[in-house]
Structure 1
């Protein structure tokens, strides 16, 4: 924070706190100070010479000789100090002379006032005032010299003996005068320095402004890029040397009155102004201009608005890109079409989409984007070979080209993806109808050698301005619609709707929030007890992830389920849970608390984590937790997909290390009895969806009974989840279920609540 002038001054004396700043103040005022001192000393010498003549009236009295001697001292010291002041080169030298004058002059005048003349009392009060107000010394010397002068005046005036009843009043008057004068000096100092500081700041600002203007004018004239300053109506105000060289002559020579005259396309000027009005500046505005020799050049304009004399102007920079555009055109044409289908490729499509959107925005029209993906292309490649696939792509391209108008664009993005750009008069509804025609056309059989090929497709449609205005976002909209078409069963066209993007953005938002929650330690384990039905004892807990959301409170995994679809996030959450559970178990064991086995859920993504079992065991060993204190729970989905090959090795390593393995949500997925035989599963957990209403739903009861009997036959413990009622407990106990967990016994609890819960259960 910048310090104001008043904050930089001493609180009482009113001088600058910084010595160097005070010295600068005194140095700048030195000529004025010296003139003031010379005048003061000269007046002192003249006045006291006149008083010297007046003092002859005391001739013949004892005081005559004292007055004459004192007056001579006053005159001589004034002349001496006047001589030294005239040779002073700095404030300190001048101040030494003045302090010397003040003290010697004060002592001499003290002798003079001992005469008790009519003027004596006036001088007693006047001289200290002169010292305070008329002598420009530092505040401390003003205070010291003024106080010393007052003391000397009082001593001289009261000599040879203290006067009567007026003495106390005189002393009080002198003291009051000194304090008042100190306040006056302090205020004067503050005002002088505040004014000086403000003047200095204003001077610096003016100097900087002058320097800035000079630098700007120099830069404007010498910068190698052509610069043109015009009024909003197009009248040319100024140009730099580079602009004169570029256009071939000055505007006066060419006789050009308005910048509009150099545009090959006059409407470009209005488009440029529209861009300026919208954003206050315009960058990379491409247009074609005419030079003095009649040639035309492609340029990029970068413009910004500014005020000159209160009138809005535009300053534009001109960059010639004619040669660059020509080279780009040659290179672009060589690589702008797909070699297989002779359709525009992705690069040309992007360019045309951008151009179409610019044109649509300029004209207030619409653009529809139709994204096409062949449904069965991979099977054609796999079964009939790539030659058949190429033939299918060429035929599809031919049919698409035949459907669209000459003003539209059909391009191949790569693989089996095609895209169409269609503009008005085809609107969004017409684009849907066109998509249906495309589906019908692609369905027509294609002869290839002795085979018949078919090219069914899924189509996603997005539109400007209905959905988005930026090319990348519009493409993303069409891609989301295509994804929805595939999800709905393929061979159909779907129009983009905002809820598709909201779903994706919600997933991204949850992912960002979970990353931050992990960093802040907000993802924590809550523990739900497992109860042995035979003994009603707590034999362990299941660790369940909870999110301490700073605004929404405690959230269950249902609130951030999408995070588990992200492999990296799923692994990060699992790793954090394992470390926290190990720390909690170690803490309970250190307190002598038997917490039984703690079950930790492992996601499918975690089985892609290289060395999962070893990492898990390393965490336990680092925390000093015995392996038999932990149990892992897996769902049936781990047996499927790409991670299936890693599952067997990881589960075997867990089993060999003494860690039990439970199959969670049994019966809801895709596991079969062969998986129970192939993998070392110790426990089966009945999903809560079957336990719910088992006392009233015979189908649920039959499924639960079948799972219990299966577990008993395989020698596995069976655990029922989601137990909510006493009737469910009685049913499960009667049917031979080993263990249960659910809100009937306890809701999931924080680690700090586990010891108290266990103590209540064992009491």
Structure 2
């Protein structure tokens, strides 16, 4: 229900200046609010006010979530701060903010929205408390005036007092100096759960929490001439032994002490729940990343230098396979089981187990002399997670990749330690499933440099720092140049690492198209066959064939002068295999890049003209026989063999001796 409120300017920008999604959210919020609460505004003005609040909440998500506390004060100004409105409003705003397109790129969006909603609710609570205290002051003044006037105009004063009490949502009492109740309003009985006769046997000090009686005695003392008004927050004991959280305003008339009590129990409980939600994962009940980081900062400051701390960061292997195959509900129950099992593993330690993301967990251990070493602990984690959990008749389990930072240097900050744990976990994942890695300073520095370069790759591309390098393909029999191998080049990295970076950052598709077009144009001028290696993502790209044909046509390069090599692992899938067949049908020469018998076995079912093998590190030793067999098998399948990375004449002589056809000079 809405009525006009005069002389109040509309806050914020006009509705037409905001995004459509924000306006839709404001309309939903207005409908939700006016269904349960009287709002003294015209509908359009009320929606405009709510849009302004949403704008401020969006700014808080982009910037500092704590700034949302001020938005809570705006909601109180609109008289929309009761629990009946606040609880559904928080649910609506939380989901609504997550769906706004302008927030889609915010890192850790869900976490920031939860923090923003917590600050928003806290601002509401504080504004309600301040407003309540102001109302209590006015109530006290009215009561004292009515009592002081009673001696002169008893009838009128009584009428005034009854009107004040009837319109008050506060509990009111008159007591003597010892706190004995001389009179209580019906509302006070509702707040504390006592009937009127029961108050005659009680004092105010009987119902206040025992830990706060001394503070209340001091307040009574202060009213003996030192001050006219005392305000404080107190816990009070209800008749049912539950606790009521209240604000108390004390003043005195000539004969009595006036006590005005406002019940904040529901708001306090709501605020507590929101604070808990802001720091805990809803599904598992574990602390979230924010809580974990805060705890880590405190623990690092006070850690025992002799034993230090250990951080374990875990990522569940193949979790998406479980959720896609058996459903989200099964995945959720598995996550809950993992949370319980990790808590069990560390039950005897001073440890915090947290959930960071969908399938990522972390554990902070404050080590003692009896804390097991990381190897023992990881073995216990793996054993605990290996046992299947039954979900709807399915026995499911998930192994984990684990990164461990054991006893980090005392000077390491919490944020740096978290980054180090992330990098260590990433290194463990690169080694395969159910693997773990221990923090290594040298490897950490290398990984940071590598990732830093990968992150700066888009900027380097825009600045024109990337180029194409052409390496010679040399026949091992004639030692003549028989082709060019085109690779990406950058002054900060070798071509192979650069290609991995591009694959990791998603740049490989754009860079791969540019490389192909640039190299095709160059090959026409050089009048040599062109060799180009494709990544796994490129090999499975549904647009690959069209892009290759366009590059060949635009450059004027004959299709049979272009050799494209795909990873053997990709060709075991249908998408890459179909691309290879289509390319072969157009006349493009196709190749497999791989060094396993499974890779070479693809020659039986795919139109492959060449196999590319990488030179193993060091001189051939135990792998000599295997490599020789691969070369022989490739020739039996009708394919030539090209070797990458041959660096010495000895290596070239050896490859020639086992029948390899060509090598790529680096």
TM range (shorter): 0.3 to 0.5
Larger Rg: 1
> TM-score, normalising length from structure 1?
0.42
**TM-score (norm. length: structure 2):** 0.47
